[in-house]
Amino acid sequence: MLGSYTEVRDWLESFIPLVYGKSELGLSRIENLLKKLGDPQKKFKSIHVAGTSGKGTTAFYIARLLMQVSRDQRPETRVSKNSGNRQLAAGNLKVGLHVSPHLVYIGERMQINGKSIPVKRLVSLVNEIKPVVDEIKSKQPHLTPSYFEILVAISFLYFAKEKVDYAVVEVGIGGRLDATNVLMPQVSVITNIGLDHTEILGNTFSKIAKEKAGIIKQRPVTRDQRPVGIPVVTAAAGKALKVIEKVAKSKNAPLITLDTRTFNFSSKSDIRIDRSIYNDILRYSQNKAVLDCMFLAVLAVLVSKTKINPQAIGSVFLQKFPGRFEEISNWVILDGAHNPDKIKALVGFLENQKFEFRNSKKLTKSKIQMQKYITLVIAFKTGKDWKKMLDLLIKNLPIKTIIATEYQAVTDTGKGSAVKAGGIAEYIKNKGSNIKIKVIKNSQEAVFEVVSRQQTSNSKQRKTESRKQPAVSSELTLVTGSLYLIGEARTLWKLPEF
């Protein structure tokens, strides 16, 4: 019997493989485990979300949209006593959300109505599942589940016990052989296709698209029924989209495609986005990557035959997914960009914010107080194309200082997975850059040092500024490169739940 969160964490982490590769993917282990638990994944409706980038954010917004829906699908309104404005009354759907990885607390992966599973409940569920896993390990060692598979099973068991109306489930890696692909969802979502996890999924867009498209399914039917595919929503383009179209056609699955350049979508169904909803979405973010996620979320909910009240849009899309484009403090941005596509989205986010950088050609003398440099705190996971990611950051942003660091977090795919900080520093030096480079191996120490120095600098700046001008920081701190780094950095502002 495990008695504390620490004991639970240690037991779970003992199932992390020493080497993570293609053999770690597959459905036999998770299917066996879930069967012994009574197949909890069959006891709730679900929406399944795959993709290279943005799948976590998309899942987050789908869940938030569903939370605003009433079971009778007639969203209510109420009058605010203070302002007289009509506000959306919270819906009464119980909505689960499974995401990965977690930032700090394992229970972040399994949420209901926006709240992580309480620590005591997590400990209780692990103690319920532990004897089953131990028996498998003893009698069926070849079917011993992995860390990720056990956590997926715990999520599904939690959602089933709590009788959620919907569970929105983010894929871990790929799709076809991912442990979450035991679901028979109401809607499948594939955000986009990029080159990530190439050592496992393949090194071309087409190969990766084939793996992601593995979540496209047909509903079980009797002999005399015509096979009906589960609707698919995607923002993929090019060769990847061709692969998804082919798979969807083979499964007789309705396909709704989103053009991320215009935010128009094509569909042979009767799905429509209300014009007021469409316009409201465009108001809530200047970040194109986030807009993609918002539109995909709305489409997914509509395709699930769930109504959206236009009044819900504001309350949903003003919420931010932790660790993604997050301004955790004044002039401190945390973003878990961990592949080149996500780095490009991060650069686009910064360019569209109200930050004026020193390398901007559009600056005028009147904006001189708004000019900024960036101090970058960076760490990467091995196996990622981290050199390309770093090149993109250096080329596109006015970086003055880089602090190379390492996270200590245990990942789903192994321990000690961070790229050595010294190797990052050496790569930057060899490029002949004028950027100041410093190595601080402890990630929390690295972030603390930068933020403390920034606050001291800003304080001195405020004392010397004219009273007629507002105090404005001349330095932006950007922490990025890995979600595991973000998780460690975020604890300086947000205490963990255990």
What are the pLDDT digits (tens) for 20-56?
A: 667 778 999 999 999 999 999 999 999 999 999 899 9
Same domain, 351 and 228: no
Q: How far is CA 272 from CA 95, 231, 301, in A?
A: 24, 15, 11
For residue 51, the 8-state DSSP code is -
Residue 241 and residue 366 in one domain? no
Q: Is residue 495 part of a domain?
A: no
Domain match, 295 and 437 both: no
Residue 478 has pLDDT above 60, yes or no: yes
Closest residue by Cα to residue 280 from 316, 256, 322? 316
Residue 154 lies in a domain: yes
Instruction: Indicate the range of 170-179, 234-243, 443-452, 459-468 predicted with least confidence.
Output: 459-468
**Poorest-confidence range of 295-299, 358-362, 443-447, 488-492?**
358-362
Helix (H, G, I), strand (E, B) or coil at 480: strand
Tell me: the pLDDT tens digits for 461-471? 555 555 444 44
Does residue 365 share a domain with residue 256? no
Query: SS3 for 230-276, per residue?
Result: CCEEECCCHHHHHHHHHHHHHCCCCEEEEECCCCEEECCCCCCCCHH
- Token digits of residue 128: 């319920």
Same domain, yes or no, for 251 and 122? yes
Report yes or no: 359 and 351 within 8 Å, Cβ to Cβ: no
Identify the CA nearest to 144 among candidates 28, 39, 2. Answer: 28
Whether cis (ω within 30° of 0) applies to the bond prior to 227 is: no
- 364 in the same domain as 259: no
Query: What is the tens place of the pLDDT at every residue in 140-180?
Result: 999 999 999 999 999 999 999 999 999 999 999 889 999 99
pLDDT for 322-363, tens place per residue? 999 999 988 899 999 999 999 999 998 888 775 666 554 444
Answer with the one of 317, 345, 378 that is the final residue of a domain: 317
Q: What is the DSSP letter of 215?
A: G
Instruction: Report whether pLDDT(314) > 90.
Output: no
Strand boundaries in 13-136, DSSP class E:
45-50, 77-79, 86-88, 95-98, 110-112, 115-116
Query: How big is the chain, counted in residues?
Result: 498
Task: Give 172's contacts (C-beta < 8 A, 6+ positions apart).
Answer: 100, 148, 152, 178, 179, 180, 412
- pTM summary value: 0.89
**201 and 96 part of one domain:** yes
User: Would residue 458 count as lying in a domain?
Assistant: yes
In angstroms, the Cα distances linking 457 to 315, 362, 404, 450, 454 are 36, 26, 21, 10, 5
- Round to whole Å and give the CA distance between 467 and 369: 13
* CATH assignment of the domain containing 32: 3.40.1190.10
Q: Are 418 and 484 in contact (CB under 8 A)?
A: yes
Task: Say what percent of the chain tops pLDDT 70.
Answer: 86
Which residues does residue 265 pair with via DSSP β-bridges, in sequence order? 258
Tokens coding 359? 């390398």
343 and 262 in a single domain? The answer is: no
Better-scored residue on pLDDT, 96 or 369: 96
| Residues contacting 382, CB < 8 A, separation 6+ | 417, 418, 419
Nearest to 424 by CA among 441, 409, 411: 441
- Asked if 300 and 429 sit in the same domain, the reply is no
Does any domain span residue 193?
A: yes
Q: Looking at residue 367, which CATH number applies to its domain?
A: 3.90.190.20
In a domain, 235, yes or no: yes
- Say if residue 170 is in the same domain as residue 236: yes
Domain count, the chain: 2
- 282 and 303 assigned to the same domain: yes
Placement of tokens 């050496």 in the chain: 426
Domain extent for 446: 326-490
What does the pLDDT read at residue 443? 96
Distance CA 52, CA 341 (A): 9
C-alpha to C-alpha distance for 89 and 108, rounded to whole angstroms: 26
Does residue 331 sit in the same domain as residue 282? Answer: no
Please give the C-alpha separations between residue 255 and each of 191, 247, 251, 272, 485, in angstroms, as whole numbers.
13, 10, 11, 14, 37
- Confidence grade of residue 79 (pLDDT, cut at 50, 70, 90): very low
Task: Considering only CA atoms, give the Rg of the chain.
Answer: 23
Question: pLDDT at position 73, please?
Answer: 54
Angle between helices 147-161 and 5-13 (to 10 degrees): 130
- Within a domain: 437: yes
Contacts of 160 (CB under 8 A, 6+ apart): 38, 40, 41, 43, 44
Specify if 496 maps to a domain: no
- Please name every residue paired with 414 in a beta bridge, in sequence order, or none if there are none: 411
- Tally Cβ neighbours within 10 Å of residue 339: 21
Q: Which residues pair with 333 in a beta bridge?
A: 327, 478
Q: Is residue 205 part of a domain?
A: yes
- Examine the fold and report which residue of 317, 335, 356 is the final residue of a domain before the chain moves on: 317
Q: Quick one: how far is CA 26 from the chain centroid?
A: 22
Domain final position from 317, 344, 377: 317
